Structure 1
Amino acid sequence: MRPRGKWFVVAAAVLAGVGAAAALVRGGYEVPVELVAPTLVLNLAVGWSFVGVGLVARRRRPASRTGLLMVLLGFAWLARFLLAVDTTPAFVAGVLLGSVSLSLFVHLLVTFPTGRTTSVAQRVLVVVGYLLSAPLDAVFLALGAQRGRGEGPPPNGLVIAPSNGGFTPEPVDLVVQAVVVVLLVALLVSVWSRWRAAGVAERRALTPGLVGGTVVVATLLVERTAILLVLPPSAGVVLAWSAQVVLVVWPVALLLGLLRSRLDRSGVGRLVIDLGDGPAEPGRLRSVVARTLHDPSAEVAYRLPGTDDYVDAAGDPVDVAPRAGRAVAHLVRDGRPIAVLLHDPVLTGEPDLVEAVAAGAGLAVENERLHAQVRHQLREVRASRARLVEAADGARRAVERDLHDGAQQRLVAVGLALRLARTRLGAGSPDELDALLAEAGDELAGALAELRELARGIYPPLLTDEGLGPALASLAERASLPVVLGAIPGQRPPEAVEQACYFVVSEALTNAAKHASASRVAVDVVAEGDGLRVDVVDDGGGGADADGSGLRGLADRVAAVGGRFAVSSPARGGTRVTATLPCG
């Protein structure tokens, strides 16, 4: 709200209070002198407290409707004094506007602190609350209800005083009070359910308003129940005064909640001191931030340089995508994102507190991010070392199996053929010897071909002799599915990078043929900055597991030369394997 608008509301509230006092004193009803001052003091305190705290809430949380609702409630409360003017229009306006204050109270308590309904039960309570105010009163007024208008103090309980000879409410009033009691009970149940379902941080934000509002509701509930029970006038007076006295509690409770937020921000200084004491233990920053925000579920995730991946203090990957029940605040240093703060969504209502905590923890976040990066790298190195050992053992077993099942069997057959030829050297015919020697030659040729194929799989000679282009062209020709080979840089990269590039394409083609049910694969190797970017894209079914042994082995190979490896494989969207390899 703009300053001019704020002062306009303040002036209007002052004028409404002055008008209320004038109506009470000069409105035409006989009010006992001893009741004028208490009535004015109490009612002005209620009305002005709601308006004042509402303006503060509006300034503190402009996105929330709570402040606006409080201001409206304050004016509706002061508008009740139209009942003190002894005319029919004033009586009608006073009844209609005065009853709205209870509906606004229900709306505020049900939707605190956002002022917006978030469930069907809340919407029902708010709608019923409004239907029981002006619309219902309009029906009763049209039917001729007078609500105690006539001799004595102003009607409708504006001035709380015992009636002479007691007061017996009309049946229609008893029905209305019974419905109001049911509404108040439902309101208490709603408040209790919200508080039980809330987390620690949300409870901290809700408690001041809900506790104060619960006290008011409980007092109103007792007062309206007393009306239904037709208690003696003296008891009704005490309960009526009590209901209005405790109504002042709620704005004060909300104001205390606002002051608590300021105290929380002042606790950021303690956060800086706590982070400066003692060694940087993993997770210590998270615990200090969680304590400062009063949110035990708060987490800090650190961005790995050059990637969009985040890890916690121990180096474990963290999913920072927005999800239900979690809000994300990005921490930026020198214009670059370094971490994110995951916290309870209720803290989005206190952006200044979150920003203050983020700023206070900035240096510690940078330091712990570096530690987390090192821990993540150590974990990756250990895991990569284990995978390399496992891959090497698997490769040795595969070579042994290939030699045993292929070349070894052929060489055994050659030995048998040669021994058989030797035994028949003197007795056998030349044709028979020629056939045996021919068979031995064929087996030797087959064994040699298999050994060459095996050697090509371990390390292709064509890659060493001719370079990456011819080696990838040979891969494309031997592939079991069509391969479209894009442009290949003419200048040969370093040997380690060239080998990594070759095996990335080889493994990706093998996966596409075996698992992707692809009909076409495109391979591109392009220069990018001081390195190469390898893209292998198929049109298969997608859903590739980036943590599978084959792709994980490729990631280790790429990481070994300082590169980055990524796999994108949405369901039914094909698979893209990308490796960025530095050549410097």
Structure 2
Amino acid sequence: MRPPGGRGRAAVAAGGVAAGLGAAAALSWGGYDVPAALAAPTLVLDLAVGWSFVGTGLLAWSRHPDNRTGALMVVLGFAALGRYAVAVASDVGFAVGVLLGSLYLSVFVHLLVTFPTGRATTWPQRVTVTVGYLLSTPLDGFFLLLGATRGAPAGLPPNGLVIVPAPAGSPVLVDAVVQGVVLALCTAVLAIVAARWRRASTAERRAIGPGLLGGVLVVLALMAQRSAFVLAIHPDVRVGFTWAARTVLVVWPLALLFGLVRSRLDRSAVSRMIVELGAGPPGPERLRGVLAATLHDPSVAIAYWLPERGVFVDARGDPAAVEPPAPGRGVTYLERGGSRIAALTHDAALAGEPELVAAVAAGAGMALENERLHAEVRARLREVQASRARIVESADAARRRVERDLHDGAQQRLVNVALLLRMARGRLSAGPPGEVDALLGETVDELAGALEELRELARGIYPALLTDSGLGPALAALAERSSVPAVVTGAPPGRLPGALEHAAYFVVSEGLANAAKHAAAAEVRIDVRVTDGVLVVAIADDGVGGASLAGAGLRGLVDRVAAAGGRLRLASPAGGGTRLTAELPIAPAVPAARSEPDARRAPSPSP
């Protein structure tokens, strides 16, 4: 239900004023004989009820358009004024007044039970709201059809419009039953409100406290009034309870209005927050404590945004989950100078006060930016520590792999060569020449195999072609040896710093290995170019995607690229292939120191 615009609000307000004036006219000149001593307090009290609900409801409706509380308050105000139709001495006036006589109380039950959203979300709420409406217009319409007549014009308006002592005596059985049901309904309302209060958090209790307290007072006054009727208490006592119920009903929208005004007062506390932040020593816990006190939410948590990594971290630098928020929690993103700096995770009740949260964020912007920088440093430190641990682990694993490859490959071949040489030496003197030649030939084959295995092992540890010829030929050799068809679409023509070439080479090597093991790709394209002083290495395949930088192989590449001062990015949507991109800054070339010939050194002798 959308709130009315400017003209709509003016029309509703004008309608409320007209309804109040019409109620006053009906009571004063509707045809009944109402003494001024009774008419004046009745009009003052009921006009206050109707107009306060219409005015405050319009304000709440405009301020919180997402819930129905404001609309219900407006309806309650019009229903309270509309029941004055019974003061018009006519059949139509009597019928309309009877049908609207207790509707405003049913709307009140709906409003209180579903506060602050105005929506019934649980079965106790739905049942209570439904019973509340059934006890108003439908029940009054039923009694009206049974043959109720309007009061005589010479007396007071019917339906209890004017509060006067009723004749003493026991209530009619039907009235007693109806009032008993009303009392049971009020008890259910109190139970729902109590359960709502128990479930509410600290921030939520602060937001809904005035409204619930005022509503409970109204319910208690109504229960006292209806109990006095069922128990046939003296009429003067019942009149007192009735006036108390009407008076408290006037105060309730004022309590809601106080809740709205208090949020503005809370925003005025931002200046005190700024002074407090500047008065004490900085620190993440102190900043969080000041924000929590200003927002009246002790559960406030701050996550700082790291734009280079695209993640949120907490004050310690650890990754922090922000979305989706947990049930009952809300998230507000904070910006400074047009750039995101942090996110506040807070009680969901604060989502209805975006101006307050925004004011607090603006006031604490400098402190948040400083803590964000500290969190970024801590995150980098933790990343470096983790990277060092992974590098040590990777180096140990590489040494174990080399030891295993040497033991199982070249070492076994060399052992065989030693045995063959011993056998050949023993048969040189006694054995036939042909057998000795065969042993020596087998020895040569074993030595050749051992040499090839050592070359392959050395190529895996440190590619000789990269050192000798540069990055272009080394990438071409990698593409030729790849088990997945690979194409080099671009490579730097000249030489680059050695550390940069090595990092780029191993990025491509690991990318090809991952494509062969996991991607089920038909083709891999390798593109290495220098752009604006940055070596950009891109490996793209047409495989199944779904790769992650958290994998063992790619995690090692992250460390290798970071050690070269670069950044590794991965795009691998499911079913959309994988693209691995490394950006490696090229440091300015430093000329190598040349060794000048020593003039004191004796010249080499001529041949």
Residue 384 in 1 paired to residue 424 in 2? no
Of 496-505 and 530-539, more deviation after overlay is shown by 530-539
The residue identity in structure 2 corresponding to 1:411 is: L
Question: Does the CA-based 8 Å contact 1:512-1:518 persist in structure 2?
Answer: yes
Checking the alignment, whether the CA contact within 8 Å between 1:166 and 1:233 is kept in structure 2 is no
Match of 1:321 among 285, 300, 323: 323
Per the alignment, in what secondary structure is the counterpart of residue 316 of structure 1?
coil
Go from structure 1 to structure 2 and tell me whether the alpha carbon gap of 1:181 and 1:489 turns closer, same or farther (over 3 Å shift): farther
The CA deviation string for residues 348-371 of structure 1, in whole angstroms up to 9 with x for no partner, is 211110110111011111111111
Matched AA of 1:250: W
Name the structure 1 match of 2:260. 258
Match of 1:67 among 70, 81, 104: 70
Distance 1:319 1:575, change over 3 A: farther
- Counterpart position of 1:186: 188
Match of 1:520 in 2: 522
Deviates more, 1:346-355 or 1:177-186: 177-186
Residue of 118, 134, 156 corresponding to 1:153: 156
| TM-aligned CA distance change 1:164 to 1:227, over 3 Å | closer
Q: CA deviation at 1:128?
A: 4.2
State how far apart, in whole Å, the 2-side matches of 1:526 and 1:185 are.
76
Query: In the aligned structure 2, how far is the partner of 1:276 from the partner of 1:352?
Result: 23
User: Shift of residue 257 of structure 1?
Assistant: 0.9
Which one of the candidate residues 266, 269, 272 is aligned to 1:270? 272
- Which residue of the partner structure matches residue 37 of structure 1? 40
Please tell me whether the aligned partners of residues 522 and 536 of structure 1 are also in contact (alpha carbons under 8 angstroms).
yes
C-alpha distance in 2 between matches for 1:27 and 1:209: 36
Q: Which residue of 2 aligns with 1:508?
A: 511
Which residue does the alignment assign to 1:217?
A: 219
User: Cα distance 1:544–1:120, how it changes in 2: closer, same or farther (>3 A)?
Assistant: farther
How far did 1:503 drift? 1.5
Q: CA deviation at 1:93?
A: 1.4
Q: 1:83 to 1:555 in 2, by over 3 A?
A: same
2:335 corresponds to 1:332: yes
Evaluate the alpha carbon distance shift between residue 463 and residue 20 of structure 1 in structure 2; reply closer, same or farther with a 3 A threshold. same
Rounded Cα–Cα distance in structure 2 between residues aligned with 1:132 and 1:554: 73
User: Where does residue 430 of structure 1 map in the other structure?
Assistant: 433
Count, aligned residues: 582
Separation in structure 2 between the aligned mates of residue 144 and residue 492 of structure 1, nearest angstrom:
106
Of the three residues 222, 239, 247, the one matched with 1:237 is: 239
Q: 1:512 to 1:122 in 2, by over 3 A?
A: farther
For residue 284 of structure 1, the aligned residue among 276, 283, 286 is 286
2:206 paired with 1:204? yes
Contact 1:339 1:369 in 2 (8 A): yes
Seen in structure 2, the aligned counterparts of structure 1 residues 323 and 23 have a Cα distance that, compared at 3 Å, is same
Please, which moves more after superposition, 459-468 or 292-301? 459-468
Aligned residue identity for 2:201 = G
For structure 2, the residue ranges without an aligned partner over 5 or more in a row are 588-607
Contact between 1:64 and 1:115, CA under 8 Å: does it hold in 2? Answer: yes
**3-state SS of 2:323 partner:** coil
What is the match of residue 304 of structure 1? 306
The answer to whether structure 1 residue 547 and structure 2 residue 557 are counterparts is no
> Does residue 370 of the first structure (1) align with residue 373 of the second (2)?
yes
1:421 touches 1:433 (CA, 8 Å); kept in 2?
Answer: yes
Whether the 8 Å contact between 1:486 and 1:522 is mirrored in structure 2 is no
Q: How far off its partner does 1:317 sit?
A: 0.9
- Could you say which residue in structure 2 is the equivalent of 1:460? 463
Q: Is the 8 A contact 1:488 1:526 kept in 2?
A: yes
Is the alpha carbon distance of 1:465 and 1:132 closer, same or farther for their aligned partners in structure 2, counting shifts above 3 Å?
farther
Residue type matched to 1:220 in 2?
L
Query: 1:230, CA displacement in angstroms?
Result: 4.4
**Which residue in 1 is equivalent to 2:105?**
102
What SS class does the counterpart of residue 24 from structure 2 fall into? helix
Instruction: Give the conservation status (yes or no) of the 8 Å contact 1:47–1:75.
Output: yes
CA distance in 2, matches of 1:40, 1:486: 89
Task: Classify the secondary structure of the residue corresponding to 1:340.
Answer: strand
- Of 497, 502, 509 in structure 2, the residue corresponding to residue 499 of structure 1 is 502
| 1:233–1:537 CA distance, 2 compared to 1 (3 A) | farther
Structure 1 segment 460-499 matched on structure 2, within 5 A: 460-483=463-486, 485-490=488-493, 493-499=496-502
Deviates more, 1:297-306 or 1:444-453: 297-306
**Residues in 2 aligned to 1:147 and 1:542: alpha-carbon distance in whole angstroms:** 80
Contact 1:505 1:523 in 2 (8 A): no
Q: Give the drift of 1:574.
A: 5.3
Is the CA contact (8 Å cut-off) linking 1:484 and 1:520 kept in structure 2?
no
Q: Which amino acid aligns with 1:290?
A: A
2: CA distance, partners of 1:394 / 1:122: 64
Matched AA of 2:226: R
> Deviation at 1:11?
4.1
**Displacement of 1:485:** 4.6
Contact map agreement 1:83 1:94 (CA 8 A) in 2: yes
Provide the rounded CA distance (Å) in 2 between the counterparts of 1:493 and 1:231. Answer: 102
Distance 1:335 1:477 in 2: 49
Q: Distance in 1 between matches of 2:182 and 2:236?
A: 22
TM-score normalised by length of structure 1: 0.91
Residue 318 of structure 1: CA displacement? 1.4
Separation in 2 of the partners of 1:359 and 1:395?
52
Q: Does 1:16 align with 2:15?
A: no
When Rg is computed on C-alpha atoms for both structures, the one with the higher figure is 2
The answer to whether the 8 A contact 1:147-1:156 is kept is no
The 8 Å contact of residues 43 and 78 in structure 1, kept in 2 or not, is answered as yes
- Contact 1:521–1:536 under 8 Å retained in 2: no
User: How far off is 1:150 after superposition?
Assistant: 7.4
- Residue 82 and residue 449 in structure 1: after superposition, are their counterparts in 2 closer, same or farther (change >3 A)? same
Q: Give the superposition deviation at 1:347.
A: 1.5
Do the aligned partners of residues 399 and 249 (structure 1) sit closer, same or farther apart at CA in structure 2, a change above 3 Å counting?
A: same
Does the CA contact (< 8 Å) of 1:283 and 1:314 recur in 2? no
Which runs of 5 or more residues in structure 1 are unaligned?
A: none
- Cα distance in 1 for residues equivalent to 2:511 and 2:458: 20
- Flag the 1:76–1:364 CA change in 2: closer, same or farther, 3 A: same
Q: Note if contact 1:421-1:437 (Cα within 8 Å) is conserved in structure 2.
A: yes
Could you say what the CA RMSD is over the residues aligned between the two structures, in angstroms? 2.8
The yes-or-no answer on 1:580 pairing with 2:583 is yes
